[in-house]
Structure 1
Amino acid sequence: MQILDELLNALQTIEGNVPTLIGIIASAWIVQVTNMLLGYRLNIFGIIPRHVIGIPGIVLSPWLHGSINHIFMNSLFFFAMAGLVSLHGMQTFVILSISITLISGVLVWLFARMASHVGASGLIMGYWSFIMVKAYFDPQFIDVISAVLGAYYFGIDLLASVAPGKSGVSVEGHVAGLIAGAVTAVWYPTVCQVVTMMLADLFNVLLICGL
């Protein structure tokens, strides 16, 4: 009975977070349509490794995609993985998203091959990695179920996306996402403090600037 209650609570939690997740996906599609109308010129704001012009891409790249198929597949995977992550609460979801985006983005900027790296795949891989590592070190029932479901339904496709030799695929971004998710899971309390301080500092700067 307790297991059933946990499952029902999990489903209710995910259901409550659906509007937020759909809103995030919708905003990415708005960017995609704008990018298409501009002939994908916005992709210059992706991560360009070891170039100053590529630094903003660390934050912007998850919103940029190379094709309709690219953003369509990422939308499906994002909805699934973000939904599972949101079981830990929206605060964890926000902190995890920021952490994975920054860590994976910096890794891509430092070590990836020369190209404009765009897409939310690294973020999605980070979600999956976080779920798997969390289930291993802290095997709560919902975490284990989330890890198994994620591995069964999406793991093969996600791992296939990391395989080298695929044209137009940022393998480095996917691997960086895996690393970022694992790092965040293992050192989550520290990461939480750092991200919270960063957000507080950003909020103070915005107040000073009158924004």
Structure 2
Amino acid sequence: MTASAPPVARSPKATRFLAPIGLLALMWAIQLADAVLPGTFVGWGLRSWDLGSLQGLVLGPLLHASWTHLIGNSVPFLILGCLVAVEGARRFWLVTAVVALVGGAGTWLLNAPGTLTVGASVLVFGYFGYVVLRVIAPGRLAHRIAYAGIALIVIVLYGTTVLTGIFGAGPGISWQAHLFGAIGGGLVALTGRRREPAA
């Protein structure tokens, strides 16, 4: 007679939200360090047409020009980031990476040479594109219905802001980062196999 192995304990579903929370905490920690240390980290952002600034593809979304800039991005980043993380931390990091690369590449190419771009809005717009377009991606009907409801709420809450951020961006605001961030999020939603949330 052999004893059966004990069931493997699953980690709580809430742990998947640690990814966006942790990334936002990192942004706040960087902004705090930037405020108390001499100099500024903003120069590590993405400078268009400058091959020496490509580290900005990764670092740019983590940097902000001011506390107001960071605070303005924080709430939509957390809400939309958690809606992406519903599908798991791995999916969240995949979406984040693709959005940062696609959004950064489009910004680097289309912004005026030498323009410095920083801020998490590229990720915010990318998460928006992902949450809205994952409705039409393959998946279980019940999940697609739930995603449709979430997408509708997100469009009501942020749709006008997204349109303004792309088509009516004021001086000093990168519509390129917004547009290509949204495109990056949409690409992830429409391509590849998405892991269904654990039951």
TM-score computed with the length of structure 2 as normaliser: 0.81
Q: Does 1:145 align with 2:143?
A: no
Change (3 A) 1:66 1:22: same
For the 8 Å contact 2:136–2:190, the answer to whether it is kept is no
Q: CA deviation at 1:36?
A: 2.6
Q: Identical aligned pairs, as a percentage?
A: 24
Q: 1:16 to 1:70 in 2, by over 3 A?
A: same
Which runs of 5 or more structure 1 residues have no equivalent in the other structure? 1-11, 193-211
Instruction: Choose between structure 1 and 2: higher helix proportion.
Output: 1
The reply to whether residue 168 of structure 1 matches residue 167 of structure 2 is no
Which residue of 2 is the match for residue 101 of structure 1?
A: 100
Q: Residue by residue, what CA displacement relative to the aligned partner does 1:119-156 show, whole Å, maximum 9, x if unpaired?
A: 01011111110111111344712211221111111222
Task: For 1:74 and 1:147, locate their aligned partners in 2 and report how far apart those are by CA, in whole Å.
Answer: 19
Corresponding residue for residue 180 of structure 1: 184
The number of residues matched between the two structures is 179
Contact 1:48 1:57 in 2 (8 A): yes
- SS across alignment from 1:167: coil
- Letter of the structure 2 residue corresponding to residue 88 of structure 1: E
Give the equivalent residue in structure 2 for 1:67. Answer: 66
2:99–2:185 contact (8 Å) kept in structure 1: yes
Q: Distance in 1 between matches of 2:173 and 2:185?
A: 19
Residue 78 of structure 1 deviates from its aligned partner by 0.8
Partner of 1:131 in structure 2? 131
**Unpaired runs of 5+ in structure 2?**
1-11
- CA distance, structure 1, for counterparts of residue 187 and residue 18 of structure 2: 28
Q: Is the 8 A contact 2:135 2:148 kept in 1?
A: yes
Distance change (3 Å), C-alpha of 1:43 and 1:82: same
